[in-house]
Amino acid sequence: MYNCFDVAKQFLKLAKEDGVGIEPMKLLKLTYIAHGWYMGFNDEPLISNNVQAWKYGPVIPELYHVTKRFGYNDVDIDIVDLYSENKLTDYDKHFINLIWNTYKTFTGLELSSKTHKDGTPWSLVYKPGQMHKVIDNGVIKDYYKELIHEQSSKPANS
């Protein structure tokens, strides 16, 4: 299990390799989505940080507070302080790369809307006016396991 900064740093490296930027919202959503899919496939969390239900979706507070200063601009990997000591395994780098290749064309707002749909972990936990409630990893894992099940039961040509 990693700190959210380990995963976020990997996304920033992949974006830099592709010559594209990532604004804070997109980085937050990518890290959250990677965490969800990872639990769905591997039955264990990718990150040790809590995910909270905020008004505008699931948020990893530590990552939000470090990247919010970039506003709507791209997070600069060379100046952002994403302190991490953990070295990603080759498997986990490959996994994050798969998530990147699947979601890199989406904007932060588009990713945010994906995490706000009815039935998502955020929609099950968030209550207007309630302060940032933790979304239990079990809820996230169950949701992504269901997505995997739905995808694997679709006919190949759909």
In a domain, 111, yes or no: yes
In a domain, 157, yes or no: no
Domain, as residue range, for 134 = 4-152
Residue 158 has pLDDT above 90, yes or no: no
Phi then psi dihedrals of residue 48, to 5 deg: -90, -15
pLDDT in the model for residue 52: 97
In a domain, 158, yes or no: no
Average pLDDT over residues 72-96: 87
Phi then psi dihedrals of residue 153, to 5 deg: -95, 0
| Residue 38 pLDDT level (bands cut at 50, 70, 90) | very high
In a domain, 88, yes or no: yes
In a domain, 18, yes or no: yes
Domain count, the chain: 1
Residue 157 has pLDDT above 70, yes or no: no
Helix or strand (DSSP H, E) at 64: helix 61-67
Nearest alpha-carbon partner for 92 in 61, 51, 47: 47
| Residue 79 pLDDT level (bands cut at 50, 70, 90) | confident
In a domain, 120, yes or no: yes
In a domain, 125, yes or no: yes
Average pLDDT over residues 78-96: 86
**Torsion angle of the four alpha carbons 122, 103, 37, 8, in this order, in degrees rounded to the nearest 10:** -90
pLDDT in the model for residue 44: 97
Each residue's pLDDT tens digit, 129-152: 888 899 999 999 999 999 999 988
